[in-house]
Amino acid sequence: MVNKQGQTRLSKYYEHVDINKRTLLETEVIKRCLSRSNEQCSFTEYKDFRLIYRQYAALFIVVGVDDTETEMAIYEFIHNFVEVLDEYFSRTISLQKINN
């Protein structure tokens, strides 16, 4: 989860990645997504991963998956996730996420 300024707000890794490498990885991934315009599709490739992202106001949610996942399912999963967050925290905004 990243804001428009490119700062990571929340990250979760499902494989072990060295903490120093994470920053680098996140910067590159963010750069790739932020540089895309609204007209472009929500899927892009980064190294061996496919990145699937959605933008909610100033917040980007980016998911990196390997080729065993379906893009469309992940794309909609992001939305489902956001709805769940909304449900729990009611009208989620970026700053709240820092605190919660």
Partner 1 sequence: MRSCGLSVCLFHRGDGCNGLCKSKEAEIKRINKELANIRSKFKGDKALDGYSKKKYVCKLLFIFLLGHDIDFGHMEAVNLLSSNRYTEKQIGYLFISVLVNSNSELIRLINNAIKNDLASRNPTFMGLALHCIASVGSREMAEAFAGEIPKVLVAGDTMDSVKQSAALCLLRLYRTSPDLVPMGDWTSRVVHLLNDQHLGVVTAATSLITTLAQKNPEEFKTSVSLAVSRLSRIVTSASTDLQDYTYYFVPAPWLSVKLLRLLQCYPPPEDPAVRGRLTECLETILNKAQEPPKSKKVQHSNAKNAVLFEAISLIIHHDSEPNLLVRACNQLGQFLQHRETNLRYLALESMCTLASSEFSHEAVKTHIETVINALKTERDVSVRQRAVDLLYAMCDRSNAPQIVAEMLSYLETADYSIREEIVLKVAILAEKYAVDYTWYVDTILNLIRIAGDYVSEEVWYRVIQIVINRDDVQGYAAKTVFEALQAPACHENLVKVGGYILGEFGNLIAGDPRSSPLIQFNLLHSKFHLCSVPTRALLLSTYIKFVNLFPEVKPTIQDVLRSDSQLRNADVELQQRAVEYLRLSTVASTDILATVLEEMPPFPERESSILAKLKKKKGPSTVTDLEDTKRERSVDVNGGPEPAPASTSAMSTPSPSADLLGLGAAPPAPAGPPPSSGGGGLLVDVFSDSASVVAPLAPGSEDNFARFVCKNNGVLFENQLLQIGLKSEFRQNLGRMFIFYGNKTSTQFLNFTPTLICSDDLQPNILGFITKPVDPTVEGGAQVQQVVNIECVSDFTEAPVLNIQFRYGGTFQNVSVQLPITLNKFFQPTEMASQDFFQRWKQLSNPQQEVQNIFKAKHPMDTEVTKAKIIGFGSALLEEVDPNPANFVGAGIIHTKTTQIGCLLRLEPNLQAQMYRLTLRTSKEAVSQRLCELLSAQF
The DSSP line for 49-65 is EEEEEEEETTEEEEEEE
* 39/91 with CB nearer partner 1: 39
Q: Return the residue of 20, 35, 68, 90 that touches partner 1, per CB under 8 A.
A: 68
Take residue 96 and report the two structure tokens written for it. 């709240």
CB of 91 to partner 1, least distance (A): 18
Which residues share a beta bridge with 55? 60
Q: Return the residue of 39, 66, 90, 91 that touches partner 1, per CB under 8 A.
A: 39
Count of residues that bind partner 1 according to CB under 8 A = 29
d(CA 41, CA 88): 29
